[in-house]
Structure 1
Amino acid sequence: MPDLKHIFSPDGACSTVLPGWRSRPQQLAMAEAVERAVADNSVLLAEAGTGTGKTLAYLIPALLSGGKVVISTGTKALQDQLFHRDLPAARRALKSPVKVALLKGRANYVCHHHLQRNLSDGRFAHRDDAAWLQKIARFAETSSSGDRAEAEGIPEDATAWHYAVSSRDTCLGSECSHFKDCFVMVARKAALDAEVVVVNHHLFFADLWLKDEGVAELLPACNTVILDEAHQLAETAAQFFGETLSVAQLLDLAGDTKRLAAVKAGDFPALRRAAEDLSKAARDLRLAFPQNPVKATVAELARYDKWPDALKSMSAALDETAKLLETQAERDADLKNCFERAQAVQATLASWQRDDDPENPRVRWLETTLSSLLLHATPLSVGAMFGAKLTERAQAWILTSATLSVGGDFTHLKTRLGIEDAETLCVDSPFDYPRQGVLYVPQNLPAPNTPEFTEAVIEAALPVLEVSQGRAFILFTSLRALDKARGLLTEAFKFRGWEYPLLVQGDAPKNELLARFQKAGNAVLLGSQSFWEGVDMPGDVLSVVIIDKLPFQPPDDPVVAARIAQAEKNGGKPFMDYQLPHAAISLKQGAGRLIRTETDRGVLMICDTRLADKPYGRLLLNALPAMTRTRKLEVVERFFASHEASPVIASEAKQSSSV
């Protein structure tokens, strides 16, 4: 086997095929740890600071191992990047002929059956859908993959895709007349034949638990599983190890049943009427709650008077629809599919209504959106279930991210994932943070729970935005604060005559906003959770990241509240053991948007004085990159005035700062 030290040396294989690549001891250290874990079939938690090059650090030893490898990423965007950019680079470096495959969830592939059925049906929610669907049909005729990401000129978020793909509920499986040329089955076969398969976490867990997306077939033959962006795993696992039933599911079932009843069972009008009753009952379920969003546990639902009757009516309408569908299921594969979907919904509803099992504690709760309602049953812990999966067979598991530990301590993640015996590795970033960045915590800001807090944040941010000439992300922990800040900044920019483009989450798709930010060169972007991670904006275009509050999870969130109560019941310390580590990792993620390369420079401004004033602030500070710290605006102004942060600035900042 080629020697990793040589491959990652200044004149090794990586340097010959990767433009701009630099030898880094941190990258080699991680690669060697991955190599050992693969050889020993062990579990490794590897935290690699930004700039380490962690992707190559796990790809190179994984490819060299010669076994089958499954790699899972946090998002589809990162999945595509790894497959189309990073994996080819690693193969070139090693001159490796291994077969590779990209596997996504079924909703990413054109479904011939649903596409043709909906083209024939001709009923669409939006005027443009028919034209887009024709374009999708032309794409499907020439594409070898059917992957919607490859459909040039057709937006991935176009509503017409709803009519061109299937879901776990609507797929006909082997009974489909297009089964032999199904794009999903082609992708799964390619994955089975490949030596390296790239998936994403949602697909991975959907299959791990629901056995629905083709990964379960891969795992038994797999030697190494690599889970990138592993800080997301506990929450993703909770989502899939739990259960959810939505009004949208009910409306889809009712709508499909009503349409099929007219086309396939026109001589049985009772089915159409039952579907109409189910549709009305599902809408009434949402109307049982106020228009404003609601999150409530089962115990808290008693305050909503209309809820019990609405649930009872919906359940009765569902049962009647299922009963009538059963009588018609043999007439048509689509009708049979609707019957099976109705049965699955009945089972989920029955499970949600069932009393909790003390052996497997969960929280049953409900949330509403503007037009929908969702019933959730979320496990309080996924450790036992996830940990058991990792020990089912002899194989290596590599869990990696830039943010796994709290100051080098992996206890929080180990406990949540049930992998207390995992090996750990923590390699620092190669960046010169004291020179490249300033951490600024303004003085004299009000407490974050006061009504005037957002106004104070914007007032403190304005002089920073002035010296940085825009080029900033302002990240919020709530959409309410984001909306308020939008109005304040719009007014402030107008008053000062500033022409910095103001980009706001929700005004356009995330990728479009980021493209506008990049192109403008002096924009200010307001974002919440989705912009805290997975955003790579190197260079001068992003020079300031402002965070309004420490990202503690809301204690009144049903799942968070239940986990806190469970920890207290078990004699634990939920703030220190759960809430604080979670906030530290989230804070590291947000801060990580700023310095992306060895030449980047910028200011991280955190407007929550608890970072400096509270005893636990020290733990959060230690979790952040080791930037120059200050509480003085003058230090920030001089940082931007100078070509680079001088030792004088760093020295003065330390003397003037209690951060």
Structure 2
Amino acid sequence: MTASAALEGALAADGPLATVLPGYAPRPEQLTMARAVADAIEQEKTLVVEAGTGTGKTLAYLIPALQSGRRVIISTGTRTLQDQLFHRDLPVACAALDRLVRTALLKGRGNYLCPYRMERTLEAGRLESREMADQLQRLRAWAGTTRRGDLAEAPLGAIDGRLLPRVTSTADNCLGQNCPLYADCFLMEARREAQEADVVVINHHLLMADWALREGGFGEVLPAADVTILDEAHQLPETAARFFGVTVSSRQLQDLVRDTRLEQQREAADSGALSEQAGVVERCTAELRLALGDSLRVAWVEVGPQAAQAARELAEAVDHLVEVLAPQAVRGRGLENCHRRSDELRTALRTFLSDDADSSRVGWVETRGQGFALRLTPLDVAEHFEASRQRHGRAWIMTSATLAVDGRFDHFQRRLGLDSAETLRLDSPFDYASNTLLYVPDALPEPKDPGFNEAYLNAMEPVLKASGGRAFLLFTSHRALRQAADWLRARDWSGLLVQGEAAPKQLLERFRETPGAVLLGTQSFWEGVDVRGPALSCVMIDRLPFASPGDPVLQARVAWLREQGRNPFGEYQVPEAVIGLRQGVGRLIRDVSDRGVLVLGDTRILGKSYGRLFRKSLPPMPLVRDLGPVEAFFADQSSTSS
């Protein structure tokens, strides 16, 4: 049997997939994608595929990848999708093809329990509360029974954000082969399994971290592969920008201080200067956070003189810590590790604070809670990304439901340097024309109008009543979300679920279980969320998701594009907003029998010239401006049946 015939047979109505996947039905779009993927693998090409919701893109790349018999790395956008792919989709594909394939799931090191750091934390005995002490004992008991050490499998409530950095390692503080508990390391075992596997499932953050590690000359995390498949590929440009840049965070500094004190007690008890200088770094870190003030996200050049001086003093304190650690590093592996980390942080801080003008990257700072991060972000990653990609693997498949703008891939290809890639765009097989409405309420002011939020909420409420809840309300800002939550609570709206008041996973579970629930969310719920059936029958989006004009990276990128004589609004801001809107819209219809209404409060989609680009990039949803057709849509009983 030829490879083409084997592929078509696997995806046929009476093929092996139908025997292992209840309700399986062949889709022409899926077969078209699978053929293109198989050809790209065979010819060792780069393929960019937009596969609309319902195409079945996961099996469309898994089946030809497995049939090729080559070593494959599959990277997804989030850990949730990574788990779903490994535990659900990959076993289905292997069973359908009746193949014994060695598979491995590999996450970033922060997802695995570190036995060494857990034991050091137990040994130190310095925890802020009885609750944390109880959690630590529960984790220790679990560590004796778990095979993988994946914290996603830890007992519910056994760990929280405060304890997490004390029982996990980072690239900075890991002792590697010098660790006395190296033989018990869950991370190293996961990496060994990955090196021996035929198919390895990872996420984009881990892929970028591996590239950075190799380019820095520090070895590798991932095995060499013949085929690399990047799902949810629309996230790649921003993920790459984070990893190709420089970051110094308060957590890195606090971890260094804590570990220096701990290792000084264990390996250099007679060197009080170490603990003293660690205390200076700790104080300077706290003073910088205080000088930065309330939550912010601004270019570094815009911070006040007090914060700039505090940063310089922090850099000097880290300099001195490096000097104090240097003669002590030979006394133990822990101190040697602390010395290396302090030296790397010194270099990163000095690079960040350098006065050298470089218009191709921007220095900025963001604060959240009691923490901060200083970041130096490249404005264009195309050259760096393409160079890294060329060094790893042969065949590349990049896919997502949202890569094209007005049917073209120019924006995505330009951002990642994929000019020579082949492209394929496949529409969703779902019947949007019959099963959806796009409602843009008439007479709403534009979002810049001071009265917009109240007008939007007043227009939104009768739709919620008509749908009986069963809705996602997606916002482009936390401020708008909070205002809407307060507004609905003042009207005693039941079944209200608000982002930030519980973990996203818990909110989704409650939404599915609560009849007529209404979930309010921002970025976390715009993508990667799958609610099928009548539980979600309405998605409301307040504004077109343009990035905030005050965002420091956006401001710098706009200026950089203008310097090159390019149009930042048409070339960057609009395409990014189009892709963002398409992600939000994608929450509405998740199955062939789903029906629903999309409410968009931003009349610019109809009144501005660029609105045409947004409309052409959306599924063919009938547009209505009055509430009547919306109420009639929900009054139709078929809209409430799955």
Normalising by the smaller structure, the TM-score range is over 0.9
1:367-426 deviations in whole A, cap 9, x for unaligned? 222312221100010000111123236610000000000121000000000001110011
Kindly indicate whether the alpha-carbon contact (under 8 Å) linking 1:238 and 1:382 is maintained by their aligned counterparts in 2: yes
Kindly indicate whether the alpha-carbon contact (under 8 Å) linking 1:47 and 1:402 is maintained by their aligned counterparts in 2: yes
* Residue in structure 1 matching 2:79, options 57, 64, 76: 76
- The SS at the match of 2:73 is strand
Kindly indicate whether the alpha-carbon contact (under 8 Å) linking 2:227 and 2:393 is maintained by their aligned counterparts in 1: no
CA distance in 2, matches of 1:418, 1:356: 27
- Kindly state the Cα deviation for residue 436 of structure 1 after the two structures are TM-superposed: 1.1
CA distance in 1, matches of 2:210, 2:159: 23
> Which amino acid in 2 is paired with 1:350?
R
> Which amino acid in 1 is paired with 2:108?
G
CA distance in 1, matches of 2:146, 2:636: 53
**Which residue in 2 is equivalent to 1:89?**
92
Kindly indicate whether the alpha-carbon contact (under 8 Å) linking 1:109 and 1:148 is maintained by their aligned counterparts in 2: yes
Query: How many equivalent pairs are there?
Result: 636
**Which residue in 2 is equivalent to 1:309?**
309
- The SS at the match of 1:568 is helix
Kindly indicate whether the alpha-carbon contact (under 8 Å) linking 2:439 and 2:625 is maintained by their aligned counterparts in 1: yes
**Which residue in 2 is equivalent to 1:295?**
297
- The SS at the match of 2:324 is helix
Please list, as runs of the form range in 1=range in 2, the aligned pairs for 1:301-450 lying within 5 A after superposition: 301=303, 304-356=304-356, 361-392=360-391, 395-450=394-449
CA distance in 1, matches of 2:42, 2:160: 42
**Which residue in 1 is equivalent to 2:48?**
45
* Residue in structure 1 matching 2:188, options 164, 174, 185: 185
Kindly indicate whether the alpha-carbon contact (under 8 Å) linking 2:109 and 2:187 is maintained by their aligned counterparts in 1: yes
**Which residue in 2 is equivalent to 1:648?**
none
Residue 428 of structure 2 corresponds to residue 455 of structure 1: no
Kindly indicate whether the alpha-carbon contact (under 8 Å) linking 1:255 and 1:279 is maintained by their aligned counterparts in 2: no
* Residue in structure 2 matching 1:138, options 124, 137, 141: 141
Q: 1:357 to 1:197 in 2, by over 3 A?
A: farther
Kindly indicate whether the alpha-carbon contact (under 8 Å) linking 1:442 and 1:631 is maintained by their aligned counterparts in 2: yes
Please list, as runs of the form range in 1=range in 2, the aligned pairs for 1:122-137 lying within 5 A after superposition: 122-137=125-140
Residue 623 of structure 2 corresponds to residue 629 of structure 1: yes
CA distance in 1, matches of 2:371, 2:164: 20
Please list, as runs of the form range in 1=range in 2, the aligned pairs for 1:199-214 lying within 5 A after superposition: 199-211=202-214
Kindly indicate whether the alpha-carbon contact (under 8 Å) linking 1:296 and 1:367 is maintained by their aligned counterparts in 2: yes
> Which amino acid in 2 is paired with 1:391?
Q
1:261-314 deviations in whole A, cap 9, x for unaligned? 3443232211111111111111111111222x223323323xx13123212221
- The SS at the match of 1:306 is helix
> Which amino acid in 2 is paired with 1:392?
R
> Which amino acid in 2 is paired with 1:24?
R
Q: 1:57 to 1:365 in 2, by over 3 A?
A: same
**Which residue in 1 is equivalent to 2:66?**
63
CA distance in 1, matches of 2:219, 2:18: 34
Please list, as runs of the form range in 1=range in 2, the aligned pairs for 1:265-284 lying within 5 A after superposition: 265-284=268-287
Kindly indicate whether the alpha-carbon contact (under 8 Å) linking 1:136 and 1:154 is maintained by their aligned counterparts in 2: no
CA distance in 1, matches of 2:130, 2:104: 37
- Kindly state the Cα deviation for residue 162 of structure 1 after the two structures are TM-superposed: 2.8
**Which residue in 2 is equivalent to 1:529?**
523
**Which residue in 2 is equivalent to 1:472?**
471
- Kindly state the Cα deviation for residue 565 of structure 1 after the two structures are TM-superposed: 0.9
> Which amino acid in 2 is paired with 1:63?
L
CA distance in 2, matches of 1:298, 1:531: 30
RMSD, aligned α-carbons: 1.8
**Which residue in 2 is equivalent to 1:610?**
604
* Residue in structure 2 matching 1:238, options 231, 235, 241: 241
CA distance in 1, matches of 2:219, 2:429: 35
Identity percentage of aligned residues: 47
CA distance in 2, matches of 1:300, 1:109: 38
- Kindly state the Cα deviation for residue 10 of structure 1 after the two structures are TM-superposed: 1.1
Please list, as runs of the form range in 1=range in 2, the aligned pairs for 1:145-184 lying within 5 A after superposition: 145-154=148-157, 157=160, 159-184=162-187
Q: 1:66 to 1:152 in 2, by over 3 A?
A: same
Kindly indicate whether the alpha-carbon contact (under 8 Å) linking 1:435 and 1:644 is maintained by their aligned counterparts in 2: no
1:188-218 deviations in whole A, cap 9, x for unaligned? 1110110000001111111111349999454
Residue 257 of structure 2 corresponds to residue 254 of structure 1: yes
1:329-359 deviations in whole A, cap 9, x for unaligned? 122221211111101100101111234575x
- The SS at the match of 1:153 is coil
Q: 1:202 to 1:408 in 2, by over 3 A?
A: same
**Which residue in 2 is equivalent to 1:35?**
38
1:435-473 deviations in whole A, cap 9, x for unaligned? 111110001111101222111111111000001111111
CA distance in 1, matches of 2:523, 2:129: 29
Q: 1:269 to 1:222 in 2, by over 3 A?
A: same
CA distance in 1, matches of 2:524, 2:545: 13
Q: 1:298 to 1:214 in 2, by over 3 A?
A: closer
- Kindly state the Cα deviation for residue 53 of structure 1 after the two structures are TM-superposed: 0.5
- Kindly state the Cα deviation for residue 253 of structure 1 after the two structures are TM-superposed: 1.4
CA distance in 2, matches of 1:92, 1:139: 31
- The SS at the match of 1:3 is helix
Kindly indicate whether the alpha-carbon contact (under 8 Å) linking 2:136 and 2:158 is maintained by their aligned counterparts in 1: no
> Which amino acid in 1 is paired with 2:511?
F
1:46-78 deviations in whole A, cap 9, x for unaligned? 000001100000000000001100000000011
Kindly indicate whether the alpha-carbon contact (under 8 Å) linking 1:6 and 1:12 is maintained by their aligned counterparts in 2: yes
Q: 1:459 to 1:436 in 2, by over 3 A?
A: same
Kindly indicate whether the alpha-carbon contact (under 8 Å) linking 1:260 and 1:334 is maintained by their aligned counterparts in 2: yes
CA distance in 1, matches of 2:194, 2:570: 42
CA distance in 2, matches of 1:620, 1:467: 27
CA distance in 2, matches of 1:328, 1:394: 42
Q: 1:141 to 1:508 in 2, by over 3 A?
A: same
Please list, as runs of the form range in 1=range in 2, the aligned pairs for 1:434-583 lying within 5 A after superposition: 434-492=433-491, 494=492, 498=493, 500-583=494-577
> Which amino acid in 1 is paired with 2:412?
L
Q: 1:394 to 1:184 in 2, by over 3 A?
A: closer
Kindly indicate whether the alpha-carbon contact (under 8 Å) linking 2:51 and 2:425 is maintained by their aligned counterparts in 1: yes
CA distance in 2, matches of 1:139, 1:228: 33
1:509-541 deviations in whole A, cap 9, x for unaligned? 100011111110211111001110010000111
- Kindly state the Cα deviation for residue 566 of structure 1 after the two structures are TM-superposed: 1.0
CA distance in 1, matches of 2:606, 2:514: 34
CA distance in 2, matches of 1:228, 1:312: 42
> Which amino acid in 1 is paired with 2:436?
G
Kindly indicate whether the alpha-carbon contact (under 8 Å) linking 1:206 and 1:213 is maintained by their aligned counterparts in 2: no
**Which residue in 2 is equivalent to 1:649?**
none
> Which amino acid in 2 is paired with 1:253?
L
1:133-183 deviations in whole A, cap 9, x for unaligned? 112112221222111122243456464333221111111111101112311
TM-score by length of 1: 0.94
CA distance in 2, matches of 1:126, 1:505: 27
Structure 1: gaps (5+ residues): 646-659
CA distance in 2, matches of 1:203, 1:11: 38
- The SS at the match of 1:525 is strand
CA distance in 2, matches of 1:18, 1:422: 33
Kindly indicate whether the alpha-carbon contact (under 8 Å) linking 2:225 and 2:393 is maintained by their aligned counterparts in 1: no
TM-score by length of 2: 0.96
Between 1:434-443 and 1:137-146, the stretch displaced more is 137-146
1:55-103 deviations in whole A, cap 9, x for unaligned? 0000000000011000000000110000000000000110011110001
**Which residue in 2 is equivalent to 1:655?**
none
